[in-house]
Amino acid sequence: MSEQSDVLKRFIRYCEVASQSNPLTTDTVPSTPAQHVMAQTVAKDLEALGAEDIVVDTHAYVTAHWPASAGAENLPTLGFCCHLDTAWQSFGAEVHPRVVRYEGGVLGIGTDRDGREVTISPKTNPQLEHMVGFDLVTSDGTSLLGGDDKAGVAMVVSLLHRLRENPQLPHPRLAIAFVPDEEIGHGAALLDLDTFGAAYGYTIDGGPLGEFCYETFNAAEVHVQAMGLSVHTGTAKGIMINAAEALMRFHQLLPPQDRPEYTEGYDGFFYLERMQGDCEYAQADYIIRDHDQKKVEKRKQMMRDAVSYINYQLDSEVLTISVKDQYHNLADVITRPENEHLIENARVAYAAIGQEMTCIPMRGGTDGSQLSFRGFPCANLSACYYNAHGVREFVPVPELEAMVDMLQALVALYAKKSS
């Protein structure tokens, strides 16, 4: 294989740094100590490149600025935001990235922790038909790779490397943020936007090359608790209230067709993330997702009504429910006339590298979902990962490298006074 590009080398090195977040320890930010290690790793790279105003705070937020090219000093600052954490749904430590040449057919990438072969197939990833001859970055099968979102992190840092090596390349002042706990819905809530100083920008946390997102789900999290009454099973008649069974009854009242595995496109869903408990106490944690906020509100009410119904059946206040909004649909902000340049400039930058932009209704959210409503409008660009949140995740090297070219074209557009 030929010498590795700057972005590929950075990506592999970042993937080797374990930095999963943890949805069960959200009382602290970051939710895991490992994210501090990733934050320091990226900060050292920024320092080596000569970035300005580098700050690593106690919550593992990394922020920095990059000065404008000559003639663009008075233009608005453009921001980029990526997240440092990786998904919690699969093994994420230790990570052993590898670069493999895809020659067609089913690709074996290694074995999982139980010794079973792990493969990536064109049947589940038809995009592979267009990647014959590509180098792909994968894990060895024992963990996820972490392309979500370390590919995005590597792209931004590699862009800065290119701007340092080629100071004549046009660009406005850039504000850079690498943030923790995106995978558990933190949403960059602690990013100081005044100090960050960007007028608008982009998250880089999307899928295949050319993918662009200005629509996301609206999101809420729901916690249902059950308090039962335990007595000896031999004398339980008319006395026992089984908390775990009460939760099972509740779950059965939610429409099964509205689960993630049966939905696509603009379909919303209820997702049971976890359930635990026994006769005396049980808890179920859900997320609600829908692109239409009115439908989210209907889903919330359906769950409240289900709680009331089960309590009525049991003639006792066994179930309680708490509901919290997490983020809202990006489209409400990005489609405002003053922000439409984020869409059109992305389209032009993709075209500059010969790639047609494809707008998708993202079936999830990004840090931008919250940041946009806090006054930093930011749409979402490709990070070029496939099969995120699992051991079959992969990133095509040509796409990884092409996105650095796209970012170069994008910042050049914002160096024009007409932007």
- Walk along the chain (419 residues) and give the pLDDT tens digit of each residue: 568 999 999 999 999 999 999 998 989 999 999 999 999 999 999 999 999 999 999 999 999 999 999 999 999 999 999 999 999 999 998 999 999 999 999 999 999 999 999 999 999 999 999 999 999 999 999 999 999 999 999 999 999 999 999 999 999 999 999 999 999 988 899 999 999 999 999 999 999 999 999 999 999 999 999 999 999 999 999 999 999 999 999 999 999 999 999 999 999 999 999 999 999 999 999 999 999 999 999 999 999 999 999 999 999 999 999 999 999 999 999 999 999 999 999 999 999 999 999 999 999 888 999 999 999 999 999 999 999 999 999 999 999 999 999 999 999 999 997 54
Residue 366 has which token pair?
């990004």
- Please report the pLDDT score of residue 187 as a whole number: 81
Question: What's the order of all strands across the beta sheet hosting 319-327?
Answer: 269-277, 281-290, 218-227, 319-327
**Eight-state DSSP code of residue 229:** B
Q: Give the DSSP H or E segment for 205.
A: strand 200-206
- b/e for 332-350, b at 16 or more Cβ within 10 A? ebbeeeebebbeebbbebb
**Eight-state DSSP code of residue 182:** G
Beta-bridged to residue 319, according to DSSP, are: 226
Q: Which segments of the chain belong to CATH 3.40.630.10?
A: 6-215+330-415
- Please report the pLDDT score of residue 418 as a whole number: 55
**Eight-state DSSP code of residue 77:** P
3.30.70.360, 3.40.718.10, 3.50.50.60, 3.30.70.1520: which CATH number matches 218-327?
3.30.70.360
Tell me the whole-structure pTM to 2 decimals. Answer: 0.90
Q: Give the DSSP H or E segment for 247.
A: helix 243-252
Q: Which residues are catalytic?
A: 85, 182
- Please report the pLDDT score of residue 205 as a whole number: 96
Q: Which segments of the chain belong to CATH 3.30.70.360?
A: 218-327
What are phi and psi for residue 402, nearest 5 degrees?
A: -65, -30
Which runs of E-coded beta strand occur in 341-392? 358-361, 378-382
6-215+330-415 folds as Aminopeptidase (3.40.630)
What are phi and psi for residue 44, nearest 5 degrees?
A: -65, -35
Count of positions (residues) in the chain: 419
Nearest Cα to Cα of residue 189 among 365, 382, 368: 368
- Please report the pLDDT score of residue 419 as a whole number: 41
Angle at 92 between CA 290 and CA 84, to 5 degrees: 65
- Please report the pLDDT score of residue 365 as a whole number: 85
Instruction: Quote the CA–CA distance of 33 and 25 in Å, as a whole number.
Output: 11
The answer to whether 399 and 209 have CB atoms below 8 angstroms apart is: yes
Residue 215, amino acid: E
Nearest Cα to Cα of residue 148 among 201, 89, 204: 204
